[in-house]
Amino acid sequence: MQVDEKRYSQVIFQKQSGELVLTETGLQFGTWQISWTQLVKHQVSPASYPKALLKLVLQGETNATFQLSNRTDLEQIRKEISIHLQQRSKKRPHSEVAIVTYGAPLDATATAVTRASLLAAHPSLRQQHAYLVQETCTLTEDEFWETHQHLLQEEHARISGLAQAGRSSFMQSRLPTSGRITLGVEEMRQIFIMYPAVHKAYEEKVPLELSDEQFWRKYLESEYFHRDRGRLGTVARNHANGEETNNNKNGKKPSGPSMEEQDARAAAVGTDDFFSRYAQKLQQEQKPLDHTKVGRRLATGQFDLASTLETERGHLLQGPKDNHPSNVHDDEKGARVIAKYNRHWAMVLHPDDAVAGADLLNVARQSPLQVLPDDEDAKWGGGVHREMQRLVGFAEATEEEANHADGRKADDAYEPLSLKNVEAYYSFKQSGNNTTTETSEEANERYKVFANTILGNVNALVQELVADETKLTELPPTCFPPPKLGRELLSALTKKMAADARTDSASLAMVEQLPSEFREKLQIYFRRCSELLRHFFALRQMKNSGEKLARIVLGMETFYRELDTMRKSFPHTDAGNMMQKMCLPLMDQLDWAFKLHREGSGVGGGGGFVTVEEIY
Amino acid sequence: MRFNLDGLEVFFPYDRIYLEQHQYMRCLKQSLDAGGHCLLEMPTGTGKTVCLLSLITSYQYANPSAGKLIYCTRTVPEMNHVMEELATVLDYRARMLHPEEPSEVEITRPSGDMEDIGGTATERSSKRARKVYRRKESGKAPMGPSSSRAGAGGSGVLALCLSSRRNMCIHERVMAESDREAVDSACRSMTASWVIEASQKKPGSMETCAYYDNFQAAGESTSMPSGVYDLDELQKWGKSRGWCPYYLTRQAINHANILVFNYQYMLDPKVAKLVSKELGAESIVVFDEAHNIDSVCIEALSVTINDRGLEQATRSLGRLSSEVSRLKASDSQRLQQEYQNLVNGLIDQGLIQAPANDAALASNVLDPDVLNEAVPGNIRRAEHFVQFMRKVVEHLKTRLRSVAGPTGGVRSETPLAFLHRMTNGTSLETKPLKFAYSRLSSLLRTLQVSNLDDYNALTDIADFVSLLATYSEGVAKFAIIMEPNSSAIPGVTDPVIQLACLDSSLAIAPLFKRFGSVIITSGTLSPIDLYPKLLQFEPCISESLSMSTFRPCIRPLVITRGSDQLAVSTRYEDRGDMGVVRNYGAMLVELCSTIPDGVVAFFTSYSYMESLISEWDAIGILRELTKSKLVFIETKDVVETTLALDNYRRACDCGRGAVFLSVARGKVSEGINFDRHYGRAVIIFGVPFQYTLSHVLRARLEYLQTHYQIREQDFLNFDALRQASQCVGRVIRSKTDYGLMILADSRYTRHDKRSKLPKWILQFMDDSCINLSTDMAIAHVKSFLRLMGQPVDQEALQSVLLTVEEVIRMNPARPTISAGEGGAMIMDGQNSAAIASSSA
């Protein structure tokens, strides 16, 4: 994309005139070399400034300012340096600009604010917090939050606007019009992309005319910023064609902007609004979209409206007219909003190409060239033939050929084995066997024997492998049972599981029968129980946590008793029995924790989470 | 499957068939047998195209005397789709008729067969490469010249499609021009008859197109082998022979059996003469997706003139007169020749039979005397004619000024009154005005103008006065509406004079008269009895088919209230109400956060969408929306909208989905299927009525009331509801596809609105979902999506997809009718009765 060497003559640096050369490795002025790795960032003088200056900020806080002969050279060198810097930053795993480093400690105020906002946002968390910290004092405030560190960090990032770049399609650039505004790097980036006028103004005014902070202050105070946030009730005005519509007919007050917002707007009216001027300037510079240059294939298949409307005499094909007059009263506000959102999707879908001042329409135009799977389907009825073939194939297929999950005839005999279809998979092969002669008990006996044999074989094999690693490659052929036995065993297992399993709808129906009060309670108990257990297991791992652990265990015991009381209070009806049963798993979990605690108490931590041996 | 339908052997390329497909084919066959026109409505996603193609091609095969099949589509992608289906149908027939020959699917496609034909553009090659891969995979039927001995379809069928030069040209330099006008004029500048003559006299003096020259040189020997040719194949074939595909196709039309092209080649009188003049009367004409055919007909004959156009016309006249004087000095013989021709009348002059390569600007709705009579004496001389047109233009300018002026305002006149004022004001006669259009085209030819599009404004004016003079007498089928429209710049007006055609039957009447069978079909033609009235014809079959399904794959929901129980409506008095704005917004946000993948929302008009969107932006609803879906919005610009659509598709393919905000009468509502995950739900905010204060509409309504006894409200409801059902009908493509159709307006509960929806939508609409609030609707949506997410049931599918045996049993030769094993949800009165009787 770029030439190996770019030369700029008549460049003045420290009163010496010379030639500035851009190479693959860096910049060169006379004998002075600057490699790309040394360069941190570059700035240029604003367009209104008479001299064309290029400032390079190098590592170690040193600067170098070059004066170029004219503006076009300056623009070009700026772009080229940007490209080099971009390439370099792409090589790094992440752009370092806007990523929050997790785990960095927050200061006291930030912590308090973040915690409060988290609690406000999550009702379940609030409930837990109230129960564990405030009511029962099982945990201290810090202990509670220790386990939610990740949430805290995320919330803090959200509040301070330091969201990770390109992570979400959420529009960061929409700032509130009143109250406290925090501008993060991501907001600024998005504002630049979404509002090219602001970017142009920034390029020309900062840092010579305005400082960074002054600039943003001006932006937030400007009418441009507020105008874009809309006024309520304009729909009414537009459609009444200037007549006052009667908003009060239902006795409602006309809804309008809040007082604060109105004040902010009133203040904005008088201020110098250079953004609007830039927007006008940009609009004048921008020629209307040149249709002759856009090329032929703009979209895939049926989505290519232009392929018809731009080639045939379009007015007959555009769809019936609605004859509605166009909106002339709202000074193109709707059009601006539409343009904004159409820039937004381009930015989200093409995050790499979306940079400040980029022509997003051009960026979007690249997309049809990037081929996605199933593009043929996107044609007008492109997949109809295939779809019909598929359906007919599925309808024609015999039981073993049919792929019920995808609704098609299986292309070949192979179908991935799963527990669900294992019956269909083997039944036709077994149908001729003499398995029917033996009774189910006999069969069960047989399976047991098989299972034991297999277990024995595998155990021996594992022992052997562990003992002698060199033997790893050669597995004795006898170590696994013959495939037929395995298959039988599997099908037996599946049968048993199928018999035991309930369908989702059955369990749903069962749950529906229970009183809603109980369901709510159970949910709360479940959360409490999980929270307590989490703390319990976490603390067990830590040393010097005896006191806390004891508190937790105490908390668990209280909870256990509470649960037990509730369980016993159920009537001895069907529903009651069911409810009793449903409490059991929670109690079992707690029991298990108590058992561990008893065994390991005094030791101050027994190996953490459940290990496999302990289960059996 | 190959089966006998009332004595006709039908080749249907699949092993099973839907019941409604069978019914559809039977209707088609009956109308072809009767030699009459027909109107057929069949739901989208039931394989309409394949039925049409397989029945008509089978009919052609059985009756060699049957004429061509002329298949008219609306868009270029639709045309490509028809060609693909056609290839499938014909390939199947060839295999059935000649089973000994191996199927072409395997034997064609040697490597390198699909080599890059674009040559220059890299994008083209990447597309091509992918296509090859896909074709192999999906086993699509072959395009291009047939390799088997018997030819395509087993009987040497030639199927062609035709589009503009921009889509067909293969000349490198011309192809680099990318808009239609530029391509056309670049082509004409190299292929017009005078250019060819000049270069023959003095080789090298003019640049000519090698492809066109080769084509002309080959002369009569240019024949195309049997096969199915889509645009790509035509270009490839042309390239391989060195012949111009555009002119080759234009010539080959005469011996093609099947022709696929755009509506306008049949309906627009300016283009129709070029293409369809030699088509035989026995041809079968199909208009697919024809629900808006009356609007197309009206548009084709309506002319709008504004200030800019008049200025441009004045400039064109200036250019013409200088051309004329130049020619007089250099080659006065040519003008003399033209004069002589004009004395002899238009037909003798050869204008109507002009060579195909010169843009003949003839009109097929001209008065018969215009065609036969000599051109009146006072406009025979070129300079006189230019003077004549000047007067006309000046008069129109004066009228326009008076409309925009202080005493102006909207005026409506009959053509007769307008003409009267014109003849009084300019002291011109009526008769020469009738000839203005033909006289202009003759002059342009004589002056050897190749960039005809520069003269568009003047041509429009000539068209305007010709139509005006021709239709001034008798019943006023046109209206002249003059409006001082306000433009985008406040305080400035942009006045227009519109010659509005009021009678949609005018443009299509010649077709009904000329062709034996005209088939009008679409997914939404309800209420079907209105179309014969609007288009003034008598269909011998008019049928609306319902949908047989194995599960309720469509869920229409009528939302009448927001979550706060306030009624929502786009009624004129309510639409500005903040409660409605907010409720609509909240509805969209809630639906978008519940429904996966793509959601499409339609608004009643562009201006309403703009104002609603800016309100939503102000109260933070759009912002809320971006949390769950990416927002795409239709704009007035075609290219921008295309880009938005393509990116919408990408967003649906790879993420949480997207929401496309669009206009119910816009470009998007007509051409695009939001099927599968591209549209799990279509929401339509409000009833898409036309702007009832529009003067053009008022004139038309009045005309319909007085001449066809169609009540105003009936027509408005019909027009709005066909648009609404078009929008919601975009959501489904096949029977395994599923989608929600959400009609958000309190007026949809009313019977007069609801009853005008197509039968196949009504069959899924039960009383529980016609009066919902937003929160109730959300519950419905959730349960529907859960149900539809399940895999398809094989037995149920078998019950709607009939086998050959079942089809044979349905043949009325043996009257026992069976519709499968049951479970098919056929709501059609006749059939369910038949099923009941057969099972009883």
Provide the pLDDT for residue B390.
93
**Does residue A146 share a domain with residue A120?**
yes
| CB within 8 Å of B235: residues ≥ 6 apart | B117, B168, B170, B245
Q: Which of A410-424, A544-558, B112-126, B227-241 is predicted with the least confidence, judged by mean pLDDT? A: B112-126
A34-73: b or e for each residue (b if 16 or more CB lie within 10 Å)? eebeebeebbbbbeeeeebbbebeeeeeeebebbbeeeeb
Last-in-domain residue among A120, A138, A160 = A160
- Among chain B residues, the shortest Cα distance to A235 is held by B576
Chain A closest CA to B447's CA: distance in Å? 25
A549 is a domain residue:
yes
Chain A closest CA to B665's CA: distance in Å? 6
Distances (CA, A) of A249 to A258, A449, B615: 21, 85, 20
A213 is a domain residue:
no
For residue A207, whether the previous peptide bond is cis, meaning omega lies within 30 degrees of 0, is: yes
Instruction: Name the nearest CA neighbour of A202 among A189, A213, A215.
Output: A215
Q: Which own/partner pairs from A390-398 qualify as long-range (CB within 8 Å, at least 24 positions apart)?
A: A391/B16, A391/B734, A391/B735, A391/B736, A391/B797, A391/B801, A392/B14, A392/B15, A392/B16, A392/B801, A394/B792, A394/B794, A394/B797, A395/B16, A395/B794, A395/B797, A395/B798, A395/B801, A396/B15, A396/B16, A397/B794
Check B178 against A292: CB less than 8 A apart: yes
Provide the pLDDT for residue A320.
66
Residue B537 structure tokens:
């014809």
Angle at B29 between CA B23 and CA B30, to 5 degrees: 90
Which candidate from B177, B264, B631 shows the least CB-CB separation from A341? B631
Check B665 against A240: CB less than 8 A apart: no
Which residues of A fall within a CB distance of 8 Å from B670? Answer: 317-319
Check A395 against B640: CB less than 8 A apart: no
Check A322 against B626: CB less than 8 A apart: no
Which candidate from A291, A309, A379 shows the least CB-CB separation from B81? A379
B755: amino acid identity, one letter: S
A593 is a domain residue:
yes
**Does residue A555 share a domain with residue A496?**
no
Nearest-angstrom CA–CA distance, B206 and B188: 12
Which residues of B fall within a CB distance of 8 Å from A365? Answer: 643
Task: Count CB pairs under 8 A between chains A and B.
Answer: 369
Which candidate from A312, A385, A395 shows the least CB-CB separation from B262? A312
**Does residue A588 share a domain with residue A528?**
yes
CB-CB contact of A133 with A147 (8 Å): no
A353 is a domain residue:
no
Beta-carbon neighbour count of residue B570 at 10 Å? 24
> Is the predicted pLDDT of residue A228 greater than 70, yes or no?
no
Which candidate from A289, A315, A384 shows the least CB-CB separation from B639? A289
Chain B closest CA to A269's CA: distance in Å? 18
Check B299 against A315: CB less than 8 A apart: yes
Provide the pLDDT for residue A494.
78
Which residues of B fall within a CB distance of 8 Å from A341? Answer: 613, 622, 631-633
Q: pLDDT digit string (tens) for A479-512? A: 666 677 777 777 777 777 776 666 666 777 777 7
Check B615 against A235: CB less than 8 A apart: yes
A572 is a domain residue:
yes
Check A380 against B182: CB less than 8 A apart: no
- Among chain A residues, the shortest Cα distance to B614 is held by A334
Q: Average pLDDT over chain A, rounded to whole?
A: 71
Check B486 against A376: CB less than 8 A apart: no
Mutation to test the B interface, candidates A338, A353, A359, most B Cβ within 10 Å:
A338
Which residues of B fall within a CB distance of 8 Å from A239? Answer: 572, 575-576, 608, 611
Chain A closest CA to B785's CA: distance in Å? 16
| CB within 8 Å of A158: residues ≥ 6 apart | none
- Among chain B residues, the shortest Cα distance to A240 is held by B576
Which residues of A fall within a CB distance of 8 Å from B618? Answer: 229-232, 234
Which residues of A fall within a CB distance of 8 Å from B299? Answer: 315-316, 321
Provide the pLDDT for residue B828.
43
Which candidate from A297, A318, A397 shows the least CB-CB separation from B123? A297
The more confidently predicted of residues A281 and B187 is B187
Mutation to test the A interface, candidates B72, B74, B76, most A Cβ within 10 Å:
B76
The DSSP bridge pattern shows strands B554-561 and B599-603 to be unpaired
A494 is a domain residue:
yes
Chain A closest CA to B382's CA: distance in Å? 29
Check B15 against A381: CB less than 8 A apart: no
> Is the predicted pLDDT of residue A294 greater than 80, yes or no?
no
Which residues of A fall within a CB distance of 8 Å from B736? Answer: 387, 391, 407
Which candidate from A254, A302, A326 shows the least CB-CB separation from B607? A326
Nearest-angstrom CA–CA distance, B607 and B619: 19
For residue B269, whether the previous peptide bond is cis, meaning omega lies within 30 degrees of 0, is: no
A358 is a domain residue:
no
The more confidently predicted of residues B362 and A181 is A181
Instruction: Classify residue B740 by its DSSP letter.
Output: E
Tokens 């006072």 belong to residue: B378
A121 is a domain residue:
yes
| CB within 8 Å of B215: residues ≥ 6 apart | B222, B243, B244, B247, B248
Q: Can you tell me the mean pLDDT for A4-32? A: 82
DSSP B366-430: S-HHHHHSPPPGGGTSHHHHHHHHHHHHHHHHHHHHHHHSTT---EEE-HHHHHHHHHHHH---H
Beta-carbon neighbour count of residue B170 at 10 Å? 21
Nearest-angstrom CA–CA distance, A435 and A443: 9
**Does residue A68 share a domain with residue A136?**
no
Provide the pLDDT for residue B280.
83
Check A319 against B300: CB less than 8 A apart: no
Which candidate from A230, A297, A394 shows the least CB-CB separation from B127? A297
Provide the pLDDT for residue B733.
78
**Does residue A23 share a domain with residue A69?**
yes
**Does residue A596 share a domain with residue A521?**
yes
Nearest-angstrom CA–CA distance, A215 and A198: 10
CB-CB contact of B28 with B529 (8 Å): no
**Quick one: angle between helices A422-430 and A483-500, nearest 10?**
130
- Among chain A residues, the shortest Cα distance to B722 is held by A320
**Does residue A549 share a domain with residue A596?**
yes
| CB within 8 Å of B480: residues ≥ 6 apart | B412, B413, B414, B415, B417, B418, B468, B497, B498, B499, B500
- Among chain A residues, the shortest Cα distance to B45 is held by A384
Conformational region of residue B810, where left means phi above 0, alpha means psi within -120 to 50, and beta covers everything else = alpha
The more confidently predicted of residues A434 and B223 is B223
Provide the pLDDT for residue B314.
93
Which residues of B fall within a CB distance of 8 Å from A247? Answer: 577-578
**Number of compact structural domains in chain A:** 4
Nearest-angstrom CA–CA distance, B499 and B417: 13
Chain B closest CA to A579's CA: distance in Å? 27
Residue A604 structure tokens:
């101050």
Residue B440: its H or E element: helix B436-446
Check B74 against A317: CB less than 8 A apart: yes
Check B81 against A381: CB less than 8 A apart: yes
Nearest-angstrom CA–CA distance, B223 and B562: 65
Low-confidence ranges of chain B (pLDDT < 50): 105-138, 347-365, 367-368, 814-840
Q: pLDDT digit string (tens) for B214-246? A: 888 887 667 788 899 988 899 988 888 888 999
Domains of chain B plus CATH, in order, are 301-503 (no CATH), 554-790 (3.40.50.300)
Which residues of A fall within a CB distance of 8 Å from B572? Answer: 239
Helices H / strands E in chain A, number of each: 24, 9
Range of the domain at A139: 110-160
Which residues of A fall within a CB distance of 8 Å from B488? Answer: 326, 328, 332
**Does residue A518 share a domain with residue A498?**
no
Phi, psi of B554 (to 5 degrees): -120, 140
A466: amino acid identity, one letter: V
Last-in-domain residue among A42, A62, A91 = A91
Provide the pLDDT for residue B782.
94
**Does residue A537 share a domain with residue A577?**
yes
Chain B closest CA to A304's CA: distance in Å? 6
Q: Is B672 helix (H, G, I), strand (E, B) or coil?
A: coil
Check B622 against A386: CB less than 8 A apart: no
Chain A closest CA to B340's CA: distance in Å? 34
> Is the predicted pLDDT of residue A382 greater than 60, yes or no?
no
DSSP B30-55: HHHHHT-EEEEE--TTS-HHHHHHHH
Mutation to test the A interface, candidates B123, B274, B608, B642, most A Cβ within 10 Å:
B642
Indicate which CATH number applies to the domain containing A10. Answer: 2.30.29.30
pTM: 0.71
Chain B closest CA to A436's CA: distance in Å? 29
Last-in-domain residue among A30, A59, A91 = A91
Check B643 against A361: CB less than 8 A apart: yes
**Does residue A581 share a domain with residue A540?**
yes
Which residues of B fall within a CB distance of 8 Å from A315? Answer: 299
Which candidate from A230, A317, A377 shows the least CB-CB separation from B617? A230
